[in-house]
């Protein structure tokens, strides 16, 4: 498995450096860098700092994803998932948590709240054309394999 070097700046004393929890893990856990516990009510969302800034090399991004255990046990996930940390971003990484559960979620300092996957990025050059090539699917979108959604354009 190949590795890249990513400089990390610690911005808050509560910050915990991300690390892989197993040898073959794709994602590193991101932690809540908060000075005291917080409560997230059902249906509420909150911006949670990690206390970290990264210098991701050009050609890579950080993909921020929910933790499946939080989603299953508490209904807590990320609002914008996956989130992207671009190679030119140098600010603090903060995560928007939302509670889809039935009960308040108690967030403690240092809790693991998301995971970050470092991935290669390929930028595309878009070229305008008058028509696209045909495929068996063509413009079949939502429900094209059997489930139909009717949209009233009136």
Binding region for substrate: 67-69, 80, 84-86
Query: Residue 146 belongs to what H/E stretch?
Result: none
How many whole angstroms separate alpha carbon 65 and alpha carbon 10? 21
**Any idea what DSSP says for residue 68?**
H
Strand partners, 40: 105
Binding-site residues, in ranges, read 67-69, 80, 84-86
How many whole angstroms separate alpha carbon 105 and alpha carbon 154? 42
How many whole angstroms separate alpha carbon 68 and alpha carbon 61? 21
Residues 42, 44, 47, CA angle at the centre, nearest 5°? 135
Is residue 39 within 8 Å of residue 104, measured between CB atoms?
A: yes
Distances (CA, A) of 65 to 7, 71, 132: 21, 11, 33
């Amino acid at each position: 498995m190949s590795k890249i070097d990513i400089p990390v700046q610690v911005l808050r004393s509560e910050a915990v450096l991300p690390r892989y929890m197993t040898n073959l893990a794709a994602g590193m856990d991101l932690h809540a860098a908060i000075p005291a516990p917080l409560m997230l009510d059902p249906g509420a969302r909150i911006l949670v700092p990690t206390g970290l800034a990264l210098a991701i090399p050009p050609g890579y991004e950080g993909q921020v994803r929910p933790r499946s255990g939080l989603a299953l046990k508490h209904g807590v996930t990320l609002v914008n998932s996956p989130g992207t940390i671009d190679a030119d971003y140098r600010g603090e990484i903060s995560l928007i948590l939302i509670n889809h559960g039935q009960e308040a979620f108690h967030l403690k300092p240092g809790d693991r709240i998301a995971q970050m996957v470092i991935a290669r990025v390929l930028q595309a050059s878009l070229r305008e054309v008058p028509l696209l090539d045909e495929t068996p699917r063509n413009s079949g979108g939502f429900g094209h394999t059997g489930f139909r959604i009717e949209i009233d354009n009136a």
